[in-house]
Amino acid sequence: MSDKNHDRHYGPCYGRLIGASLGPGDPELITRRGWAALQSGARWLYPIKKAEERSYALDIVQRGGLVVPADAEALVFPMTRNPEILAKAWVRAATRTVELLTEGRDLVFLVEGDASTFATFGHLARVVRELAPDVEVETIPGVSSFAAAAARINATLAEEDDTLAVIPAAYGVELIDHLLGEFDTLILLKVKPLLDEVLDLLEQRSLLATSCFIEKVGSPDERVVSDVLSLKGEKVNYLSLMLVKNPKRARGELRRGCRKRAGLPA
């Protein structure tokens, strides 16, 4: 008697792809769930900007006392806005990830900060699933850089009905100027390219005293600058942000727990 399933083709049995958020720099901010994933026997993947360069994410776990497994592997994600270079790099990284997943072993991808917030992992996972839809993806949340920065300077990001916006500073000073009138707290990520322009804007709007610059928060190279104007003309690290409070923001009437913008009809 023939077995009707004998010639059936079965696809590969993939391991899981796990994005382990490590927090922005202090290994003590790694969650218990993230710590367990790192020691689960899954193979480590970690991001670098170019070949042979050190990985900031890898540094975090090493400072936490973990030994990097011999089979840990780097994936290159170049720092460029060239779409062709980026597309090739993403496909190359995702293809290698799928190759490793076909071995049936879980992969844990090391993510600085939080994996769901301006992180490489989301894009990698998306491309991996385009190549291999059956791959199971798990995201382990973590502490974001701006949450750690606020805690570092004992500042609240938002209270009660306060509004909060988080944007890359690369959107430009025109948008930043607009958002300062719409939000009580504005977090500007990656301020390095536009630092002087941002400082000029904050000076014009008399917000220097309620602004703070934080660089590489939680790491041994952390720097906190409350006199932000002193940074004028300085070259700062890529991993930097500006926390801006606007206590003078005009507010509308509260309706059903939310403020109505001034000038809007009831």
Condensed to tens digits (0 to 9), the pLDDT of residues 101-157 reads 999 999 999 999 999 999 999 999 999 999 999 999 999 999 999 999 999 999 999
253 found inside a domain: no
pLDDT at residue 227 greater than cutoff 50: yes
256 found inside a domain: no
DSSP designation for 119: -
How far is 211 from 245, CA to CA, in rounded Å?
A: 6
pLDDT of residue 1: 42
How far is 108 from 115, CA to CA, in rounded Å?
A: 12
- Domain end (from 143, 163, 192): 143
How far is 30 from 27, CA to CA, in rounded Å?
A: 5
Task: Give me the domain span that covers residue 233.
Answer: 146-245
107 found inside a domain: yes
229 found inside a domain: yes
- Domain end (from 143, 167, 196): 143
Answer yes or no: do 84 and 131 share one domain: yes
Domain count, the chain: 2
29 found inside a domain: yes
- Domain end (from 143, 175, 196): 143
Residue 261: pLDDT band with limits 50, 70, 90: low
Please give the residue that has the higher pLDDT: either 12 or 212: 212
pLDDT at residue 42 greater than cutoff 60: yes
Rounded mean pLDDT of the chain? Answer: 91
Q: Give the percent of the chain with pLDDT over 90.
A: 79
114 found inside a domain: yes
Which residue's entry shows tokens 């938002």?
158
Answer yes or no: do 112 and 214 share one domain: no
pLDDT tens, 211-223? Answer: 999 999 999 999 9
Residue 4: pLDDT band with limits 50, 70, 90: very low
Answer yes or no: do 150 and 224 share one domain: yes
8 found inside a domain: no
pLDDT at residue 85 greater than cutoff 90: no
Residue 69: pLDDT band with limits 50, 70, 90: very high
Answer yes or no: do 167 and 136 share one domain: no
Domain at 233, CATH number: 3.30.950.10
Residue 10: pLDDT band with limits 50, 70, 90: low
pLDDT tens, 186-212? Answer: 999 999 999 999 999 999 999 999 999
Residue 8: pLDDT band with limits 50, 70, 90: very low
Answer yes or no: do 169 and 229 share one domain: yes
Q: What is the mean pLDDT of residues 165-191?
A: 95
How far is 139 from 143, CA to CA, in rounded Å?
A: 13
Residue 11: pLDDT band with limits 50, 70, 90: low
Domain at 128, CATH number: 3.40.1010.10
Answer yes or no: do 125 and 173 share one domain: no
Answer yes or no: do 135 and 236 share one domain: no
Answer yes or no: do 22 and 139 share one domain: yes
Which residue's entry shows tokens 């100027």?
177
Q: Give the percent of the chain with pLDDT over 70.
A: 91
State the angle between helix axes of 83-101 and 120-131 in degrees (0 to 180), rounded to the nearest 10. Answer: 70
Question: Residue 45: beta bridge partners?
Answer: 73, 109
68-72, 87-91, 123-127, 258-262: segment of lowest average pLDDT = 258-262
Answer yes or no: do 89 and 156 share one domain: no
Tokens representing 95?
């293809």
Answer yes or no: do 101 and 124 share one domain: yes
Please give the residue that has the higher pLDDT: either 160 or 241: 241
Answer yes or no: do 30 and 129 share one domain: yes
pLDDT of residue 75: 95
Q: Which residues in 188-202 are b (16+ Cβ under 10 Å) and which e?
A: bbbbbebbeebbebb
Kindly list the strands in the beta sheet with 185-189, ordered across the sheet, starting from the edge strand earlier in the chain.
164-168, 185-189, 240-245, 211-215, 223-225
Answer yes or no: do 188 and 71 share one domain: no
12 found inside a domain: no
